Structure formats: C-alpha cells, structure tokens
Homo-oligomer: A and B are copies of this chain.
C-alpha cells in the first residue's frame, strides 16, 4: 500500500503511541466499565494531543489534523490496533460520525454548542436511531418515535434501544417522525423526560458509553434543537451512513491486524508434535488467508476513500466494502483464535475481545443480508455492466 511521506510519518507516530501509550492501558476490567473507560479516554486524549495525533479526521479549524479520507484510512487502521486507540484520537464511533453530522447540518450556534465540545473531547453524544420491535431496526422506515409541535418547540415520545455511546452521554441526536416527515433533533440528556433505562450488555468491549436503552417521555426540545431541515431526516441519515460505515472498516482492519500480530508471535514460538506451529501447513494457510483478507479489505476501503475524496457517490462501493470487510475481519479474528488455541478464547490476550467485537460489524450499519439484497437490486436496475 503506497502512501506519501507525510502520512507515513504520521502513521509511525500513531503506531508508536498505540504501542507505548494506548496498549499498556488495556485491561479486561475496562471492557464494560463506562466510567473507567471515560476516564482512560480523557487521559489518553491529553497524551494524543501532546503527541500531535489528535483528531486526524477533523478540519484544522476544529482542532484536527485535516486529513482526507485516503489518509484517514491509514491512520484509522493504525489507531484501530489499540482497543483504546480510536477513542484516544477522538476518531471512534459514535462521536466521529456525530461530528460529521453536526459539521454538515449544524447551524453556527449548534456547532459552537455541540460540535465544539465533542471535537475537544469535553462532551460525548449518541445517535439514538434504533428502537425495539416493532420500531426502527434494520428498516429505518419503521421509526415509531414521534415529535409533535408544542408551542415554540417540540415534544418527543419514543423508546430507543442498542444506542451505542448512550450511557452518560451529554446529548443525543434523535430521529423522530413529525407531520412533515422524519426530523433530527438534538436532545440534551438532562432534559426532563429523557431517561437511560439501562446499559445493555453485549459481546463487545471497550464501547464508550456502552449500549443504552433510552426512554423519551414527553421530552421537550426547543425549536433550535432541530438539526438540519424539518422532514429531511431520512436524507440526513443517509448522508451519515456511508462515511460511518467506511470508518468502521478502517478501524476494524486495524483490530484484525492486531489479532494477527499476536497469532504471528504465538505460532513462531510454540511447538506441538515436534514441530514449530508456523511450520504446519494448516497454520500457514490460516496466516496466508488472513493476509489476503486484510490486503483486499484495505484495497476496497482505500478505493472508497479515494472516491469520497473526489466527492463521488460511493453507494455501491461502500456497500461492497462493508460486506467484504466486516466478513473478512471476522474470518481473520476467528483464525487467530484458532491459531492460539485455548489462549484465544480467554481474556489473557485481546484476541478474544477482537473476535467478539468483530461479530456485530456484520449486523451494525445495516445487516450484510440487507446490503446484499439492495446492492444487487441497484446493480440490476441500473443495468450496470458486471
């Protein structure tokens, strides 16, 4: 993978940071502890700023390094090697896409009030989209949360579930239906009627703000809480999805690479039945296939990033990348577990955590089955030459 010198230098800096600062802080006890994770995060961000690697994706005016998407591909992968890496660089979900959304849609006032603190790492937000059945799950059109006009503002009623980052968030971006169509609202989480009912435990770890279940009961939102245009929420959401999905690919490639590094070390130092594990062809096949998976994943991701930097729509390319990369990193993580044996299913290395964490990526950002169906329909309808 070729890159310019500037990106290479930055990559090396991030790699050193991850290896010497972020990885040493990893520990199973952090995995599901929202408060401890927030604390680790604050600590790491200070250090990342000092190292000159903070917020690579943000424009310089918001305190970032102003990288384009192709450059981000390299840096997000590098950060992704550390379980705390993207958090340290403030390029982790949900705030990385939240900041994108605010940058695109926010009024000047909203940017100062909400984007600024996110960019500086002073606040955390969540994007409260999904709902329990029969609400919006994989199908956003099933949205049940409702906002009704109330004097100069709005009142929102709804039930949200699996909201990543929702525990102890400072504000939420909430899609709700209105008479004019789906609309995005910014809701301060200390608003009366807004309540996090629980942190849903899942197979993943190191998720900042966990996965919240949230109730909105007659929750008041002022008029300036509307984000973007009234009734244009679905379009605004679409805008967010492609970069969010692609950023996930970048970070997860780093995660899988980390697991593979650990497997490399293991198979080169362990013996069984009189042979070094790395001399066994079944191990070699797993090593080779994992490198092929990561190489192809990077190429699919970089191709998308290149197009995005050119302002070209990447609907099909990002769907292809999402499907391939999410399955590739699952395969890589699974092979790494297998290569390192019992160690791979324990918390003694991060491989088991990476394996668990990769699983939902085949579901989040649209289940791969949905992407397959829609991708095929778009291709066939457009009579795209195969």
Q: Which residues of A does B touch, CB under 8 Å?
A: 1-2, 28, 130, 133-134, 137-139, 141-142, 161-162, 200-204, 211, 257, 260-261, 264, 267-273, 278, 280-285, 287-292, 294-296, 299-300, 303, 306, 316-317, 320, 323-324, 337-338, 341-342, 344-348, 352, 355-356, 359-360, 362-364, 367-373, 375-377, 379-380, 383, 385-386
Q: Are A137 and B341 in contact (CB under 8 A)?
A: yes
Q: List 7 A-B contacts (CB under 8 A).
A: A261-B386, A264-B386, A272-B370, A282-B285, A291-B386, A295-B317, A338-B363
* Min CB gap A161→B, angstroms: 8
> Which 6 A-B pairs have CB atoms at the shortest separation, nearest pair first?
A284-B376, A281-B281, A260-B386, A299-B299, A288-B372, A287-B376
The chain B residue with its CB closest to the CB of A362 is B338
Name the B residues within 8 Å of A134 (CB-CB): 270-271
Which residues on B sit within 8 Å (CB–CB) of A345? 202-204, 359-360, 363
Cβ contact of A273, chosen from B139, B317, B346, cutoff 8 A: B139
Secondary structure call for the A interface: helix
Quick check: A203 and B352 within 8 Å, CB to CB?
Answer: yes
Instruction: Take A341-B367, A371-B288, A372-B282 as given contacts and tell me if A272 and B137 are in contact as well, using a CB distance cutoff of 8 Å.
Output: yes
Flag if B344 contacts A363 (CB, 8 Å).
yes
Q: Which residues of B contact A376 (CB under 8 A)?
A: 278, 283-285, 287-288, 291
